[in-house]
């Protein structure tokens, strides 16, 4: 055996490792640094945190003002809580709808499974922005839903859905449902059918067998799917921006406005860092289950 | 698990699928509406599609988006394939846990966080090295980052199920590790590589949030132009454009899915013929 550094392993490992290190991980360090800066009327629009003075001393100018601002200005607390609540209930609804769908696909004939999966996958990859826009065509005041209901005589005034919380919920459920179904299907499909047969042989009703065997064994899928919906939904920007009203302030939208509206890069960085800390728990859970599943 | 589906399960499945497809179907329907009013049917017309060809802003943005998508998915396919080889074939190396974390985290990281952190990196790099200028380069670099994650996950799955004994047989017959990889393993994972290229292409073409942060003032990708138009309300030419994109992407995805299932079937058949 040649020594490992000669085998070319590092030629394979290093390019992706270095690229992701530089363009994915290190950016967080910069955001962290700039969250301690102050806005300044220059390019780029913030003060230096670390500077070399003329006599070669490193000068550190930390400002905690941005974080103090996050804690004192009510908007941020309200937006964080609203985002968490919206994401939580959307995840529950996705789970309630997605579990039976995944279960139905897992139990359908093998020949049909591929087609059904493709049917679920297709919207998952289709333009997110355009799907949200398409949903607007359904739920707007003079949209498809109201036109149909009015013509059927079921309602006399158009339903007001756009620019309400309902629209935001519908948007998230519609956009993220495939993210729930796919990991659930992956675990349900792997389930050993002999376990269910054994349960039946031992006198379990199908319902008991489902509750005692299928459901516990599908927990990894439930968690993976829930995290895949919950984490991006908390940070959602497009949906509250296009479908929500002024009251549906989600944290992604606050960050966007802070950045593009107020040009306050340091506060936007502080919002991002605080947001990341909030998501650290769910992301760690997702990583844990993911690593366990791929290593298994 | 082949058993009869209960009526309840089947109806939930159909309801879910209908929910996923109804808005897109209605959108495509509207795009052929001669009337500019969304709730009035004015007869069948393809006029809105014709108008797209005369919208310079849209065409330029579409061209930029296509260039970015080709560059980003090609870069991501190389990096993602290398990462998946590293993770599947090398059981232990320094930085393995780091690499695992970095290929999985972009899949769930809210785009708005990735976008702002990457912009701050690019701006700081610009101060230090006078590179990269914001625009095409920065958009491609940031798209490669999240696309690499998708490629790694797809190719990793295929590589894990690949039969290593073929590669070992080639090496026993005198092929070096590089040759064994190129002639045996690469053809096995090729469908996964091609389909992940197609998936990255659609993801890159679709990205709004990250591009908006890193693009800088000069460049606008197609989703950025669409977003600013949509913000003003529903417009019939966007309906036509959206229908074109949705159908184009749909063809890409069905192609990718077909490639994957075809090679799966062929492998199953080969395994059968080999008496396993």
What's the CATH code of the domain at A220? 1.10.3720.10
Mean pLDDT of the residues in chain B: 88
Across the interface, which of B80, B90, B202 has its CB nearest the CB of A13? B90
DSSP structure class, residue A54: T
DSSP structure class, residue B133: P
The pLDDT confidence band at residue A6, using thresholds 50, 70 and 90, is: very low
CA distances to A212, A217, B164, B168 from B274, in Å: 40, 34, 15, 17
CA angle B232, B25, A245 (to 5 degrees): 35
| Over residues B139-144, mean pLDDT | 97
Nearest-Cα residue of chain B relative to residue A188:
B1
Q: How far is B174 from chain A (nearest CA, A)?
A: 16
In a domain, A227, yes or no: yes
Tens of pLDDT, residues A12-27: 999 999 999 999 999 9
In a domain, A196, yes or no: yes
Q: Are A268 and A213 in contact (CB under 8 A)?
A: no
Residue B69's closest CA among B153, B150, B146, B144? Answer: B144
φ/ψ (deg, to 5) at A157: -125, 145
pLDDT above 50: residue A1: no
Mean pLDDT of the residues in chain A: 88
Local structure of B274: helix, strand or coil = coil
The contacts of residue A144 (CB under 8 Å, 6+ apart) are: A137, A138, B26
Torsion of CA A286, A277, A169, B237, to 10 degrees: -100
Q: Are A70 and A76 in contact (CB under 8 A)?
A: yes
**Distance, C-alpha B114 to centroid of its chain:** 17
The verdict on a CB contact (< 8 Å) between A13 and B16 is no
Interface of A with B in 140-179 (CB under 8 A): 140, 142-144, 147, 174, 177-178
Local structure of A78: helix, strand or coil = helix
A268 contact residues in B (CB cutoff 8 A) = 116
**pLDDT score of B4:** 61
**Residue A50: its H or E element:** strand A50-52
The verdict on a CB contact (< 8 Å) between B145 and A134 is no
| Over residues A111-125, mean pLDDT | 84
pLDDT above 80: residue B167: yes
Q: Domain residues for A282?
A: 75-122+176-295
pLDDT above 70: residue A5: no
The pLDDT confidence band at residue A177, using thresholds 50, 70 and 90, is: very high
**pLDDT score of A188:** 92
Local structure of A39: helix, strand or coil = strand
**Distance, C-alpha B121 to centroid of its chain:** 24
The pLDDT confidence band at residue B39, using thresholds 50, 70 and 90, is: low
In a domain, A229, yes or no: yes
The rounded percent of chain A whose pLDDT value lies above 70 is 96
A292-296, B123-127, B262-266: range with lowest mean pLDDT: A292-296
CA–CA separation, B226 and B242 (whole Å) = 9
The contacts of residue A118 (CB under 8 Å, 6+ apart) are: B253, B254, B257
More confident residue, A5 or A106: A106
Across the interface, which of B78, B141, B202 has its CB nearest the CB of A125? B202
Give yes or no for A191 touching B (CB within 8 A): yes
A142 contact residues in B (CB cutoff 8 A) = 38-39
Q: How far is A296 from chain B (nearest CA, A)?
A: 11
CA angle A4, A8, A12 (to 5 degrees): 115
Which pair of structure tokens corresponds to residue B84?
Answer: 């998946």
φ/ψ (deg, to 5) at A60: -110, 115
Q: How far is A45 from chain B (nearest CA, A)?
A: 10
In a domain, A240, yes or no: yes
| Over residues A178-189, mean pLDDT | 91
**pLDDT score of B204:** 93
**pLDDT score of B275:** 61
The verdict on a CB contact (< 8 Å) between B110 and A236 is yes
In a domain, A24, yes or no: no
Domain count, chain A: 1
Q: Are A189 and A171 in contact (CB under 8 A)?
A: no
In a domain, A170, yes or no: no
In a domain, A248, yes or no: yes
DSSP structure class, residue A262: S
Which pair of structure tokens corresponds to residue B215?
Answer: 């693009």
Across the interface, which of A130, A279, A290 has its CB nearest the CB of B104? A290
pLDDT above 80: residue A244: yes
Candidates B6, B15, B16, partner chain A, best to mutate (most A CBs within 10 A):
B16
CATH superfamily of B55-273: MetI-like (1.10.3720.10)
Residue A180's closest CA among A234, A124, A104? Answer: A124
The verdict on a CB contact (< 8 Å) between A24 and B79 is no
Q: CB atoms < 10 A from the CB of A138, how many?
A: 19
Q: Is the dihedral of CA A107, A111, A114, A115 positive or negative?
A: negative
| Over residues A282-295, mean pLDDT | 78
pTM of the full structure = 0.89
CA distances to A61, A159, A177, A218, B242 from A65, in Å: 12, 44, 40, 46, 44
pLDDT above 50: residue A167: yes
Across the interface, which of B19, B108, B120 has its CB nearest the CB of A286? B108
**pLDDT score of B3:** 54
Residue B107's closest CA among A116, A224, A79, A273? Answer: A224
Q: Are A223 and A288 in contact (CB under 8 A)?
A: no
Across the interface, which of B30, B120, B142 has its CB nearest the CB of A137? B30
Across the interface, which of B24, B86, B145 has its CB nearest the CB of A134? B24
A104 contact residues in B (CB cutoff 8 A) = 5, 9-10, 12-13
Nearest-Cα residue of chain A relative to residue B249:
A126
**pLDDT score of B213:** 95
């Amino acid at each position: 055996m040649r020594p490992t550094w000669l085998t070319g392993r590092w030629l394979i490992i290093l390019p992706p490792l270095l690229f992701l290190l530089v363009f994915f991980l290190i950016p967080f360090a910069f955001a962290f640094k700039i969250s301690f800066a102050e806005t300044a009327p220059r390019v780029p629009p913030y003060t230096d945190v670390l500077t070399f003075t003329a006599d070669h001393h490193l000068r550190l100018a930390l400002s905690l003002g941005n974080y103090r601002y996050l804690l004192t200005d009510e908007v941020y607390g309200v937006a964080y809580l609203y985002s968490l609540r919206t994401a939580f209930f959307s995840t529950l609804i996705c789970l309630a709808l997605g579990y039976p769908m995944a279960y139905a696909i897992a139990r359908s004939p093998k020949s049909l499974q591929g087609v059904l999966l493709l049917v679920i996958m297709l919207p998952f990859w289709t333009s997110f922005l355009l799907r949200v826009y398409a949903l607007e065509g359904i739920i707007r005041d003079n949209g498809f839903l109201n036109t149909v209901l009015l013509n059927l005589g079921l309602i006399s005034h158009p339903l007001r859905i756009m620019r309400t919380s309902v629209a935001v919920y519908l948007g998230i459920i519609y956009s993220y449902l495939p993210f729930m179904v796919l990991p659930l299907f992956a675990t349900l499909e792997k389930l050993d059918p002999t376990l269910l047969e054994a349960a039946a042989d031992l006198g379990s009703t199908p319902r008991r067998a489902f509750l005692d065997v299928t459901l516990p064994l599908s927990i990894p899928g439930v968690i993976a799917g829930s995290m895949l919906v919950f984490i991006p939904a908390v940070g959602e920007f497009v949906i509250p921006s296009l479908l929500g009203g002024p009251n549906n302030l989600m944290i992604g939208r606050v960050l966007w406005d802070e950045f593009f509206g107020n040009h306050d890069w340091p506060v936007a960085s502080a919002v991002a860092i605080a947001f990341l800390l909030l998501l650290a728990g769910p992301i760690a859970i997702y990583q844990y289950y993911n690593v366990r599943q791929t290593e298994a | 698990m082949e058993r009869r589906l209960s009526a309840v399960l089947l109806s939930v499945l159909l309801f879910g699928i209908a929910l996923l497809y109804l808005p897109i179907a209605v959108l495509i329907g509207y795009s052929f509406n001669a009337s500019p009013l969304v709730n009035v049917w004015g007869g069948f017309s393809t006029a809105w599609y014709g108008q797209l060809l005369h919208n310079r802003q849209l065409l330029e943005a579409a061209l930029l988006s296509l260039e970015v998508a080709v560059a980003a998915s090609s870069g991501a396919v190389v990096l993602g394939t290398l990462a998946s080889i590293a993770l599947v074939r090398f059981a232990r190396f320094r930085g393995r846990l780091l690499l695992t974390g970095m290929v999985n985290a972009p899949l769930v990281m809210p785009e708005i966080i990735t976008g702002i952190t990457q912009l701050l990196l690019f701006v700081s790099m610009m101060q230090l090295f006078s590179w990269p200028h914001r625009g095409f380069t920065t958009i491609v670099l940031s798209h490669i980052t999240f696309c690499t994650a998708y490629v790694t996950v797809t190719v990793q799955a295929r590589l894990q199920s690949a039969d290593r004994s073929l590669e070992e047989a080639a090496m026993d017959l005198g092929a070096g590790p590089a040759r064994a990889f190129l002639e045996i393993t690469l053809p096995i994972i090729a469908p996964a590589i091609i389909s992940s290229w197609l998936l990255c292409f659609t993801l890159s073409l679709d990205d709004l949030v990250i591009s908006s942060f890193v693009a800088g003032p000069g460049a606008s990708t197609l989703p950025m132009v669409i977003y600013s138009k949509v913000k003003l309300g529903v417009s019939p030419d966007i309906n036509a454009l959206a229908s074109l994109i949705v159908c184009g992407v749909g063809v890409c995805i069905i192609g990718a899915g077909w490639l994957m299932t075809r090679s799966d079937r062929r492998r199953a058949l080969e395994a059968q013929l080999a008496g396993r």
